[in-house]
Structure 1
Amino acid sequence: MQALSILKPGQAGLTEMAVPEPKAGEVAISIAYVGYCGSDLTSYRGLNPLVSYPRVPGHEIAGTIAALGEGVTGLAEGQAVTVIPYFNCGTCHACTTGRPNACVRNQTMGVQREGAMTGRIVVPAAKVLPVDDLPLRDLALIEPCAVGFHAVRRAGLQEGETIVVLGCGMIGLGVLLGALRVGARVIAVDLSDAKLDIAKKLGAHETINARTDVRAAVSALTGEGPDVVIEAVGAEATFLQAVDMVVTTGRVVYIGYAKAPIAYDTKYFITKELDIRGSRNALPEDFAAVIDCLKANPGAGDLIVSRIASLDEAPSALAEWDADPGAFTKILVDLRAG
């Protein structure tokens, strides 16, 4: 079968892979759609220190069960499923304290191990989540949204609080949906008017173009500042902006990875008595919450998906995203003909 591989920085192409068969406790999944993730773009650019080449990307998965390995129960061939794509060790401190998403030996599909940008994959049955009553396409949106939902939980966001979401890419839109689900007031910030329009249509209460004076605009809307800021960009400016604009005694959560060390004036951590938290991957309960959310918002996928490419088009789609990242919110690859 064919697969999309990132062969080396700046080069992606189609390669051949053997068709895998499930062993005991495993499930074979026929892949329908896979979403390109920001980590895939970083790998393509040669900026992901966790990746070796060549690498098959892809961990935002929609598919159907093709075969069950010996001993697998509770699942059936033909079921529509997504996959929890994180593989944890089970023995480190994070794993033994109920936070396997932050496992020190974590391996994510498409990053530290081969991903799903191919016709069929095999994974442990425990990683498979059946999903009913959603379009198959939208199952590929569950994992990236779950990353945003997890950040909202890390923030401890409460009904009636105000949150600023820095970045309206896929993960930022997941934050937006998660924040709306708990009843928060959401202010979305991005450089792209098109992405801000999507955020508004998904329910953002206010939007701000980042080319303006964001701090002044947020102050005008909130007074002393928002209760929570979640950074979903991964840039020095937004890392610093989050601490600057959040209210005294507020919470800042970082999802984005900055590409270089950042120098803070740490007095603000103390004088504002801030809670500053990181957020990594997602937990099964985040996936479940996203599934419920997407069922309650059936038009969300139509707003979020920018392009669907065939497997043959996947290398050029990745190159086009690299050339103009602001033009796309979510690119899906349709593997059904691959």
Structure 2
Amino acid sequence: MRALQLVEPRAFQFIEIPEVAEPGAGEAVVEVHRVGICGTDLSGYLGKMPFFSYPRIPGHELGVQVLAVGDGVTIIKPGDKCSVEPYINNPESFASRRGRGNCCEELKVLGVHTDGGLRRRFIVPARKLHPAQKLSWEQLALVETLAIGCHAVDRSMAQPQEDVLVIGAGPIGLSVIEFVKLSQARVIVMDMNAQRLAFCRDVMGVRDTILSTGDGKELQELEKLTDGHLAMAVIDATGSARSMSQALQYVGHTGRLVYVGITTDVLSFGHPLMHRREMTIMGSRNAMPQDFGRIIDHIEAGRIDTRPWITHTIPFDNVIDEFERFTKPETGAIKAVIDLDC
């Protein structure tokens, strides 16, 4: 069976791997139809993802179909279309027993710590599959991206009518925006890319945006929009150490700051600002199992419109030649998807 392996940063190769065995107890064999390309994949490709290990078969945003199930599996059956929750945790770990398997001490994320979906078939714990017969393969692959934003907004405790600032309008930032809107909070988006901000306004219906130019005027713009109170929740989805270090200045008194982006660099900020405003600073890692079901329900009910998301689709055979262009903002990709059926 053919698979696509990232040997080292910027070096893909097609390899032959053994065909999958029969599923064991609690397992399922799945066939992969679509794989989304996300920021983690791009960072892994560029060598900037701290959790990524090489060589690795990437791919964790997956639309799959169940081919076979092992003993004891009742939640899914062969033929089911599913989204994959790619966070393979140890159910007996300390974090998992506290209901936080998303940050399990032994966590292995498909396509990051262990081989992922850029292969036709593989075995996955059945508990990590979320069936959704009504969704397309592309929608199923999009669920995990949306789940990252869903969990980050849950962490932010965004409340109706609160001002929430989302920094970074890439795919993760857009997923955050979706769930800030569903929380009925007021969303304000900041980015240094005018094209992305235009997409937020014209397609996602975000009224208030701030173009980040690095001259300090961003804070003044936010003060104007919030009557001087700043944002009660700030969610930084940039993965930029500079942005993440500066994000505290946008948090109002008693506000919350959530880091959903990841950086390998050290963050630096003055403690008096954080202390004076009695801020809460927190990380948001991956997503929760229940987020997947919520998102599937939202898509099926039409509360989340996935049509604007998928801007590029490439055949599996073309990934090596075309992947590099998705690292460039000028490509204009919101979400690129790899089609394994071509």
- TM tier, smaller: over 0.9
Which segments of 5 or more consecutive residues in structure 1 lack a partner in the other structure? Answer: none
Quote the Cα distance in structure 1 between the aligned partners of 2:304 and 2:293: 18
> Structure 1 pair 63/153, CA: closer, same or farther in 2 (3 Å)?
same
Q: Look up the equivalent residue of 1:210 and give its one-letter code.
A: S
Quote the Cα distance in structure 1 between the aligned partners of 2:52 and 2:245: 28
Give the equivalent residue in structure 1 for 2:126.
125
Quote the Cα distance in structure 1 between the aligned partners of 2:330 and 2:71: 44
Give the equivalent residue in structure 2 for 1:138.
139
Give the equivalent residue in structure 2 for 1:303.
308
Give the equivalent residue in structure 2 for 1:290.
295
% of aligned pairs identical? 33
Quote the Cα distance in structure 2 between the aligned partners of 1:328 and 1:251: 30
Give the equivalent residue in structure 2 for 1:7.
7
* 1:268-279 equivalences in 2 (<5 Å): 268-279=273-284
Give the equivalent residue in structure 2 for 1:327.
332
Give the equivalent residue in structure 1 for 2:209.
207
* 1:134-283 equivalences in 2 (<5 Å): 134-200=135-201, 201-211=203-213, 213-223=217-227, 224-283=229-288
Which segments of 5 or more consecutive residues in structure 2 lack a partner in the other structure? Answer: none
Answer yes or no: is the 8 Å Cα contact 1:185–1:205 preserved in 2: no
Q: Look up the equivalent residue of 1:250 and give its one-letter code.
A: G
> Structure 1 pair 81/240, CA: closer, same or farther in 2 (3 Å)?
same
Quote the Cα distance in structure 2 between the aligned partners of 1:103 and 1:183: 31
- Secondary structure at the aligned position of 1:111 is classed as coil
Q: Say if 2:1 is the partner of 1:33.
A: no
* Greater displacement, 288-297 / 177-186: 288-297
TM-score (norm 2): 0.93
Give the equivalent residue in structure 2 for 1:44.
45
Quote the Cα distance in structure 1 between the aligned partners of 2:198 and 2:291: 25
Answer yes or no: is the 8 Å Cα contact 2:298–2:304 preserved in 1: no
Give the equivalent residue in structure 1 for 2:323.
318
Q: Which whole-Å deviations, capped at 9, do the CAs of 1:58-84 have from their partners, x for residues lacking one? A: 110101112222332232222110111
Quote the Cα distance in structure 2 between the aligned partners of 1:293 and 1:232: 22
Deviation at 1:258, TM superposition (A): 2.1
Quote the Cα distance in structure 2 between the aligned partners of 1:257 and 1:85: 18
Task: Count residues in correspondence.
Answer: 337
Quote the Cα distance in structure 2 between the aligned partners of 1:189 and 1:118: 37
Q: Look up the equivalent residue of 2:218 and give its one-letter code.
A: V
> Structure 1 pair 18/325, CA: closer, same or farther in 2 (3 Å)?
farther
Deviation at 1:325, TM superposition (A): 6.8
> Structure 1 pair 298/153, CA: closer, same or farther in 2 (3 Å)?
closer
Quote the Cα distance in structure 2 between the aligned partners of 1:162 and 1:326: 31
* Greater displacement, 98-107 / 312-321: 312-321
TM-score (norm 1): 0.94
Q: Look up the equivalent residue of 1:10 and give its one-letter code.
A: R
> Structure 1 pair 319/102, CA: closer, same or farther in 2 (3 Å)?
same
* Greater displacement, 109-118 / 39-48: 39-48
Answer yes or no: is the 8 Å Cα contact 1:232–1:256 preserved in 2: yes
* Greater displacement, 235-244 / 278-287: 235-244
> Structure 1 pair 144/119, CA: closer, same or farther in 2 (3 Å)?
same
Q: Look up the equivalent residue of 2:52 and give its one-letter code.
A: V
* Greater displacement, 106-115 / 10-19: 10-19
Q: Look up the equivalent residue of 1:271 and give its one-letter code.
A: R
